[in-house]
């Protein structure tokens, strides 16, 4: 391929988003809208990528990247004027120019490559597509044949609608010289007083028909943002199914771009994998699971409504339902972490269990230790955080509090209901309870006193 400059238009106001955030910075399926176009452009290894922005735009700050040249369009007076913002890069340039819009995140790289190879460089080449909703575009272009195109004004779109088969997608490719020549002739004598890029097609052009309309859907408002996200979530799910992942309902699964999933993982509906998350072979993720920036090793079962953040789950663990691993938690492997258990900044040794209603924060737990129901590491004294260390083969009964800092030796037993305030030696039994008294018939006599029956 001959040398190339890519121009990405992103100076539009995006008012229909009704947002403080620039339109192209909004995430589409967990990736900023403009990043899709930037990544596509980078894949073509151009000499330069020019991003056209408005004067007060926050885009250069949000997409700070030495590979990009930001060009300022002073006033938003139309798409042709927007391309002219890149004129300093294009003057005297002997290569070709590809024009993309920053609000079309679903265009596929191989479609653009095919278009570039098919383009006729002596003409202004552009991509068209058969549209089910031609009115949705500002100005449409009706195909007469693939070399002559008629520009239709928006106000006439209705009467032309039935005849319209193809629309201009807004993707163009031509020699820089030809582009500048045609841009110089574009005027603004129309209802909006705008300089329309479509006008560069008037003096002969080549329309290349792309196959899939869905690649060229633009985002103008939050409804379209959701539609595009849906399409992209679904295609990511499809990609992982092709790699050997079973997905029960690919319409309802949310896999961020940097997630990796191994073979024979099964994913139930409404699972959300975010950030740099890795799921290893043979895991099952049930509904309502969200995992962020974490690794889950082979053969784990993560049950309903479990949240895992910045943590590592070793092989063959059972976690959930309704468990919460907060940042810096490590389950070494073969652990069983059950209902309503919260773990934070803690390591749970191989084979150890905490099956019910427990908080383990700032703690280290050895191997094959059983943490009973309702155990709490009291890690915070109102001023500082303190650590709890529990050894191997420890049995912690139900409803135990460890007032940290505490160390529990290997093989110890902690009786149910104990508030542990001193370290426990190896193999000791710790018990701290008020001895029980049974007062004969006391319950019956209280009922009589209150006017009830014994």
- Rule CB under 6 A: which residues touch ligand UD1? 9-12, 52, 73, 76-79, 81-82, 101-103, 137-139, 167-170, 196-198, 218
What part of residues 205-224 is at the interface with Ca ion (CB under 5 A)?
Answer: 218
- In the complex, the smallest distance separating the C-beta of residue 111 from ligand UD1, rounded to whole angstroms, is 15
356 annotated active-site:
yes
The angle formed by the CA atoms of residues 407, 408 and 410, to the nearest 5 degrees, is 130
Q: Does 14 bind Ca ion (CB under 5 A)?
A: no
Residue among 9 and 400 whose Cβ is closer to ligand UD1: 9
Structure tokens at 185: 């002739």
Structure tokens at 257: 């771009």
Question: In angstroms, rounded to a whole number, what is the distance separating the alpha carbons of residues 288 and 322?
Answer: 9
Residue 300 interacting partner from ligand UD1, Ca ion, none (CB closer than 5 to 8 Å by kind): none
**In the block, residue with structure tokens 């799910």:** 237
Residue among 19 and 339 whose Cβ is closer to Ca ion: 19
| Residue-wise DSSP of 347-377 | EE-TT-EEEEEEEEEEEEE-TT-EEPTT-EE
Residues in the chain: 454
Name the H helices within 149-251: 157-160, 176-185, 222-242
Residue among 14 and 397 whose Cβ is closer to Ca ion: 14
- In the complex, the smallest distance separating the C-beta of residue 54 from ligand UD1, rounded to whole angstroms, is 8
Structure tokens at 216: 């060229």
Residue 371 interacting partner from Ca ion, ligand UD1, none (CB closer than 5 to 8 Å by kind): none
Calculate the alpha carbon distances from 2 to 89, 94, 178 in Å. Answer: 17, 9, 15
- In the complex, the smallest distance separating the C-beta of residue 173 from Ca ion, rounded to whole angstroms, is 19
Residue 169 interacting partner from Ca ion, ligand UD1, none (CB closer than 5 to 8 Å by kind): ligand UD1
Residue among 85 and 341 whose Cβ is closer to Ca ion: 85
310 beta partners = none
- Choosing from 160, 328, 356, 387, the catalytic residue is 356
Structure tokens at 267: 């994913």
- In the complex, the smallest distance separating the C-beta of residue 101 from Ca ion, rounded to whole angstroms, is 7
The site map against Ca ion for 170-209 (x = CB under 5 A) is ----------------------------------------
- In the complex, the smallest distance separating the C-beta of residue 220 from ligand UD1, rounded to whole angstroms, is 6
Residue 296 interacting partner from Ca ion, ligand UD1, none (CB closer than 5 to 8 Å by kind): none
Residue 149 interacting partner from Ca ion, ligand UD1, none (CB closer than 5 to 8 Å by kind): none
**Residue 99 near residue 58, CB atoms below 8 Å:** no
301 beta partners = 284, 318
Neighbours of 126 (CB within 10 A): 25
Residue 196 interacting partner from ligand UD1, Ca ion, none (CB closer than 5 to 8 Å by kind): ligand UD1
CA 204 to chain centre: 42
Residue among 168 and 306 whose Cβ is closer to ligand UD1: 168
- In the complex, the smallest distance separating the C-beta of residue 143 from ligand UD1, rounded to whole angstroms, is 13
Long-range contacts of 230-233 (CB under 8 A, 24+ apart): 231/106, 232/28, 232/29, 232/105, 232/106, 233/29
Q: What is the SS3 assignment for 39?
A: helix
Structure tokens at 151: 């520009």
Q: Provide the binding-site residues for Ca ion, judged by CB under 5 A.
A: 218
By annotation, the residues acting in catalysis are 356
């Amino acid at each position: 391929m001959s040398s190339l400059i890519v121009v990405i238009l992103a100076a539009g106001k995006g008012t229909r988003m009704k947002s403080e955030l620039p339109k192209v910075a909004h995430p589409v399926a967990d990736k900023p809208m403009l990043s899709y176009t930037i990544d596509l452009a980078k894949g073509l290894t151009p000499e330069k990528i020019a991003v056209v922005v408005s004067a007060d735009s926050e885009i250069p700050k949000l997409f700070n990247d030495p590979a990009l040249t930001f060009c300022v369009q002073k006033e938003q007076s139309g798409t042709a004027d927007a391309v002219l913002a890149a004129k300093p890069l294009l003057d005297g340039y002997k290569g070709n120019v590809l024009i993309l819009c920053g609000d079309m995140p679903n265009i596929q790289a191989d479609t653009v490559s095919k278009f570039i190879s098919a383009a006729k460089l002596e003409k202004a080449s552009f991509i068209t597509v058969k549209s089910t909703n031609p009115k949705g575009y500002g100005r449409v272009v009706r195909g007469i044949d693939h070399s002559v195109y008629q520009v239709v004004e928006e106000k006439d779109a209705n009467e032309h609608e039935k005849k319209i088969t193809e629309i201009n997608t807004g993707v163009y490719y031509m020699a820089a010289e030809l582009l500048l020549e045609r841009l110089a002739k574009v005027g603004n004598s129309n209802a909006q007083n705008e300089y329309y890029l479509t006008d560069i097609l008037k003096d002969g052009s080549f329309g290349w028909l792309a196959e899939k309309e869905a690649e060229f859907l633009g985002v103008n408002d939050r409804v379209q943002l959701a539609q595009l996200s849906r399409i992209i979530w679904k295609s990511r799910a499809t990609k992982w199914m092709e790699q050997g992942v079973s997905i029960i309902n690919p319409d309802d699964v949310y896999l961020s771009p940097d997630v990796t999933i191994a073979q024979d993982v099964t994913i139930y509906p409404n699972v959300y994998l975010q950030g740099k998350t890795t799921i290893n072979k043979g895991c099952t993720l049930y509904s309502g699971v969200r995992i962020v920036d974490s690794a889950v090793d082979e053969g784990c079962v993560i049950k309903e409504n479990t949240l895992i953040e910045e943590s590592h789950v070793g092989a063959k663990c059972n976690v959930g339902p309704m468990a919460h691993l907060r940042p810096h938690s490590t389950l070494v492997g073969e652990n069983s972490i059950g209902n309503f258990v919260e773990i934070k900044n803690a390591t749970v040794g191989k084979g150890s269990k905490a099956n019910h209603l427990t908080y383990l924060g700032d703690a280290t737990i050895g191997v094959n230790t059983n943490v009973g129901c309702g155990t709490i590491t009291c890690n915070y004294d109102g001023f500082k955080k303190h650590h709890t260390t529990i050894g191997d083969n420890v049995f912690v009964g139900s409803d135990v509090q460890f007032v940290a800092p505490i160390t529990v030796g290997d093989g110890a037993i902690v009786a149910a209901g104990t508030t542990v305030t001193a370290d426990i030696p190896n193999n000791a039994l710790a018990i701290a309870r008020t001895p029980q008294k049974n007062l004969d018939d006391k319950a019956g006599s209280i009922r009589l006193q209150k006017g009830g029956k014994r």
